[in-house]
Structure 1
Amino acid sequence: MKEIKAGTKLVILETSDLHGSIFPIHYGTNENVPQGLSYAATVIKKHRKQEENLLVIDNGDLIQGTPLAYHFVKYGGNLPNPMIKVLNELEYDAAVIGNHEFNYGMNILNRAVSESDFPWLSANIVYSSTGTPKFGAPYMVKKFDSGLKAAVLGLTTHYIPNWENPKHIQGLRFEDALLTAKKWVNYIHEKEKPDILILAYHGGFERDLETGRETENQTGENQAYRICHEVEGIDLLLTGHQHRKIAGELNGVTVLQPGFNGKQIGKATISFVKDDGRWKIVDKMAEIMELENEEPDESILTLVEKYEQETQSWLDQTLGTIVGNMEVTDPIDLRTNEHPLIEFINKVQMEASGTAISSTALFHNEAPGFSKHVTMREIVSNYVYPNTLTVIRISGQDMKDALERSASYFIVDNGEIAVNPSFSEPKPQHYNYDMWEGIDYVLDIRKPVGQRVVKLTHKGHDVKPEEEFEVVMNNYRAGGGGDYTMFKNKTIIKEIQTAMTELLANYFLKHNTVKATVNHNWKVIW
């Protein structure tokens, strides 16, 4: 008679790229949207009741991204971080450091980590001096009542120094995530002998999962495809960073990526049988759970209601008045014809830095612009990142190369201008198209990429490659972020450490009334 083997299963729930989202609300309009930790909480609590073996993991970019998160950092004082309060309440097992965790500086991040009832994992973020992981243990092991043993290794995209304010990551080294995975996966198998090894990586896929085709420049920002093909011993790879929805298998590794803002949860179900006294994996299944048909958990909303009330009062402050029209109705039109919103942001940057040349971007296609009576809500809806400003010295050639990079944002499709798919897939990167003030230029999209800058002048004279200019831009761009490699390691003339949202608010408070103007210093033709 054939022996019937004992079986069990492990369910892993993954959130990622929550970006400060708890309440089911769009802060720009105050309309309800089915997203955030309050929605995720409902699903997590259901699984707590149903599943004997459950792991709940957040995969990074947790504490930055909403007005709630920003208001807490600026005005929360000694209160605990609201995102951490919720994850503690939901009994998360672990979290992974994401790149945006550093945006508010190390003090805020260290406080968040110290307030957490769960470990933060990142094996490849180490102290420069010692090479030891900054955030404690690089992995965690959880043993369940059934004897099942699960190991979770945390990794973070090592591309962070290309984006982050150097002061926020001082004393740290970001080691190659792929090489670190090889090292620690082997170590964990040898030392811990887990029944399942889960790699939680705040990074995404650099190639198409089915064809292997490159989907982006191979910078090392995302390495999940290579990890699946080059690192043996991973049973489940949790990913994020790209805000994609992915559930499947790659080279025998089950892979997940659960969107962003808590609109979805990733779920992996791993089945085991006992074989020679050890649990052996016999089946793996991955799925993306949409949350739109769930109800938000009221106890979670109550837990952080005070934070939300104070945030809403702050958002509704009227700061100044617009004379004219600064509202955004068509993002493509704004990027091809100079718009008062962009000219205004550049003007604020130039005044704050005392610099005559500036560049900025429309960060996302839902940016509303400014209505007649400008509130803080509108400022944080348009300027969604906690950027500061940096003035760097660049050459005329750098300037032209940067404009060519921006010009590659467009393609011509049947005579109509459109967005190059490389700026919209697999993750929207509209924030990587810059518009400049203080120079005059023309971009001709009919010409090949790299040859589209057909006019570039400064004070009426052609810009020469060897000329030098001082230019103000956000700290992300000044570090070379967005493949603007021509800016990397340039001489820094000045850093303005006040966040741009504050600079914009302060400008309105100082001037009260702002005119919507354009000087038509650039144009795009096709």
Structure 2
Amino acid sequence: MPQHTHAERTLVGRRGVLAGGAAAVLAAAGFRARPAWADGVDAAHPADGSHRLTVMGTTDLHGNVFNWDYFADREFGSATNPDDIGLAKVSSLVDAVREERGRGNTLLIDAGDTIQGTPLAYYYARVEPISKTRVHPMAAAMNAIGYDAAALGNHEFNYGIPLLRTFEEQLDFPLLGANALNARTGRPAFQPYVVKLVRFRGMRPVRVGILGLTNPGIAIWDKANVEGRMTFPGLVEQAKVWVPEMRRAGCDVVIVSAHSGADTSSSYGDTLPWPENASTLVAEQVPGIDAILVGHAHREIPERFVTNKETGAQVVLTEPSYWGRRLSLIELDLRWSARDGWQVVGRGSQVLNSNTVPEDPEIVALLKGDHDDVVTYVNSPIGTSKVAMSASTARYEDTAALDFVNYVQADAVKKALAGSAAADLPVLSIAAPFNKDAQIPAGQVSVRDVAGLYIYDNTLLAVRFTGARLKAYLEQSAAYFKQVSGVGPFAPDDVTNAPTPTAPNGTPDYNYDVVSGLDAPLTYDIDIAKPVGQRITGLSYAGAPVAADQEFALAVNNYRQSGGGNFPGVNTAEVLYNAQVEIRQLLIDWVTAAGEIDPTVFFSRDWQLVSNGTPVIIQP
């Protein structure tokens, strides 16, 4: 197992100009050398008397170092999803920007969600956990590339605070979180901001302040890890505290790295008083900010200007998609005067495309051993399957693949409740179609085959749930579907991912749940000709209508139970079981123990989409 010591990491060098020259590399990546905001003046010769600062940004890397799909065991990408991913690609773009702009005129920051999301990240959190001598691959890569700062993301807390602190210690740059507070003292539990000095030749250094803000939803989504230890107030509220302090400390420029989307929505509704996606609000309501690197929402925003309501100043926002697909460039023209010091006289942003560059061979060489270990792990055989199972249609029809997840969850809950006062409760389970590409092959089954069904690091709980709450829960889940007339045929996208007030860009697949029974079928129809809230019909358990006061034990993941998705009733229901067992590992362990997956044990068609009572036809 390769182990990278601190000394080894700091000796990793950066190479010079990429093959073909930096200008050619940047042009292929979509670089605009003459941004409209600069009055037609190019990067090498900004406005008279001014100097250009370039702040590069990444976000939501989610454990992606390489352009590799560990679940498919091949390079990432397909005809329908051609984007390349990973820090090794980003590193090549960073090299080109530094060569073009001058290393001393650039900074590199990140907006969070770094250490969760791939088997690579999981392996070094759970299988071979990082330690003082075993460095996280993301830390090794980001140190080698030369990041200046990173904000905390909500997924940084998924593996607990101790592992996060170990990761933090391995970084050669600060991990920022001005609104991640010590629950006892009310003071920041992480460094709130950092000041970087940028030196233009013959001029006084520019003091660039970078403020890190994370997501209030951490208090809900990772309640088990943070409750009583940390609190997460609103981004606007904490920015109003720290931006003035940064200006008083002499910052000439203030950049915010915010793990919070730009559209002012909240997946948790009014459960918290602070919005989940607040970057636009920060720009509007907090004076003194020049630019915001946006994260969390997994969107691509090349350039967006927001006017501060108090000062009228323009703040530029940019978000570089996710997984290393893009690199944001925040470009600020600065002018010096003896009276006013450094002032921002022009601003803008753009994104560069990682598809257009090769992976940085230094990053590949640095982490190839770690990557190979994970590939070996995920390809390890653990059992067999009698038939192939696919999750490709799980969004809109009952499938064996999703029933398998529900069966394993419900079976674990039933065994855990045996002998308790809740042992006689019928067990139900919820599961979401996390990964449309998940496939369980007929024959030999590996770790990656099973892990592909459950790509998040959620843990299993069980709550006491009534029939009335179950109906309300299913009604919210059914809001995932667009309202239709007629029975089709429809394409899948014609009926799924409906926009809602809390998901204006479309309800994500992970916020649609299928509910199944363990010892008897739970059956229902979803009538998508009806308005939201009136769609669940024929709800029955074991062939009898579900009564409002009927009680069940409902197997749920920690994201749902803590309020993720703002599903009604679940976060206030009595918790019957919570052993902090990861669901993905439950699936792997079940296959390992059983030796064989036989869908006849757990699969039956118990729900369907209908239009005014008639089954809907969907043709992929």
Amino acid in the other structure paired with 1:62: T
1:268 maps onto 2:330 in alignment: yes
Which of 242, 249, 273 aligns to 2:305? It is 249
Deviation at 1:225, TM superposition (A): 2.1
Kept in 2, the 8 Å contact 1:325–1:516? The answer is no
Deviation at 1:382, TM superposition (A): 2.1
Measure, in 1, the Cα distance between the counterparts of 2:471 and 2:369.
49
Measure, in 2, the Cα distance between the counterparts of 1:480 and 1:429.
16
- Secondary structure (helix, strand or coil) at the match of 1:200 reads strand
Kept in 1, the 8 Å contact 2:180–2:230? The answer is yes
Tell me which residue corresponds to 1:523: 608
Tell me which residue corresponds to 2:412: 352
1:14 maps onto 2:57 in alignment: yes
Deviation at 1:511, TM superposition (A): 0.9
Tell me which residue corresponds to 2:397: 337
Deviation at 1:168, TM superposition (A): 4.7
Change (3 A) 1:427 1:444: closer
1:429 maps onto 2:487 in alignment: no
Tell me which residue corresponds to 2:245: 187
Which of 61, 65, 69 aligns to 2:113? It is 61
Tell me which residue corresponds to 1:210: none
Which of 371, 380, 388 aligns to 1:308? It is 371
- Secondary structure (helix, strand or coil) at the match of 1:61 reads coil
Tell me which residue corresponds to 1:199: 256
Which of 125, 134, 137 aligns to 2:189? It is 134
Amino acid in the other structure paired with 1:449: V
Which of 61, 64, 68 aligns to 1:25? It is 68
- Secondary structure (helix, strand or coil) at the match of 2:156 reads helix
Amino acid in the other structure paired with 2:464: R
TM-score (normalizing by structure 1) = 0.93
Deviation at 1:95, TM superposition (A): 0.7
Structure having the higher Rg: 2
Measure, in 2, the Cα distance between the counterparts of 1:185 and 1:218.
27
Deviation digits for residues 346-378 of structure 1 (CA, Å, limit 9, x no counterpart): 110011111621111111333334443211111
Amino acid in the other structure paired with 1:233: G
- Secondary structure (helix, strand or coil) at the match of 1:336 reads coil
Which of 335, 341, 362 aligns to 1:299? It is 362
Aligned pairs (5 A) from 1:508-519: 508-517=591-600, 518-519=603-604
Amino acid in the other structure paired with 1:196: V
Which of 443, 448, 467 aligns to 2:531? It is 448
Change (3 A) 1:403 1:167: same
Deviation at 1:216, TM superposition (A): 7.3
Aligned length: 512
Structure 2: unaligned runs, 5 residues or longer: 1-46, 77-83, 308-313, 418-426, 612-620
Measure, in 2, the Cα distance between the counterparts of 1:427 and 1:253.
27
Measure, in 1, the Cα distance between the counterparts of 2:48 and 2:505.
43
- Secondary structure (helix, strand or coil) at the match of 2:355 reads coil
Amino acid in the other structure paired with 2:510: Y
Kept in 2, the 8 Å contact 1:72–1:307? The answer is no
Identity %: 30
Deviation at 1:92, TM superposition (A): 0.6
Tell me which residue corresponds to 1:396: 467
Measure, in 2, the Cα distance between the counterparts of 1:216 and 1:482.
5
Which of 26, 32, 35 aligns to 2:85? It is 35
Tell me which residue corresponds to 2:167: 112
TM-score (normalizing by structure 2) = 0.79
Kept in 2, the 8 Å contact 1:365–1:430? The answer is no
Measure, in 1, the Cα distance between the counterparts of 2:107 and 2:123.
31
Measure, in 2, the Cα distance between the counterparts of 1:461 and 1:206.
44
Q: Which moved more, 1:93-102 or 1:172-181?
A: 172-181
Aligned pairs (5 A) from 1:213-228: 219=270, 220-228=275-283
Change (3 A) 1:428 1:446: closer
Kept in 2, the 8 Å contact 1:242–1:427? The answer is no
Change (3 A) 1:268 1:11: same
Q: Which moved more, 1:400-409 or 1:494-503?
A: 494-503
Q: Which moved more, 1:477-486 or 1:110-119?
A: 477-486
Measure, in 2, the Cα distance between the counterparts of 1:122 and 1:513.
46
Change (3 A) 1:345 1:245: same
Cα RMSD over matched residues? 2.0
Measure, in 1, the Cα distance between the counterparts of 2:123 and 2:197.
39
- Secondary structure (helix, strand or coil) at the match of 2:319 reads strand
Kept in 1, the 8 Å contact 2:377–2:447? The answer is yes
Change (3 A) 1:309 1:420: closer
Structure 1: unaligned runs, 5 residues or longer: 208-213
Tell me which residue corresponds to 1:211: none
- Secondary structure (helix, strand or coil) at the match of 1:205 reads coil
Deviation at 1:335, TM superposition (A): 3.1
Which of 456, 463, 467 aligns to 1:385? It is 456
- Secondary structure (helix, strand or coil) at the match of 1:262 reads coil
Measure, in 2, the Cα distance between the counterparts of 1:204 and 1:429.
15
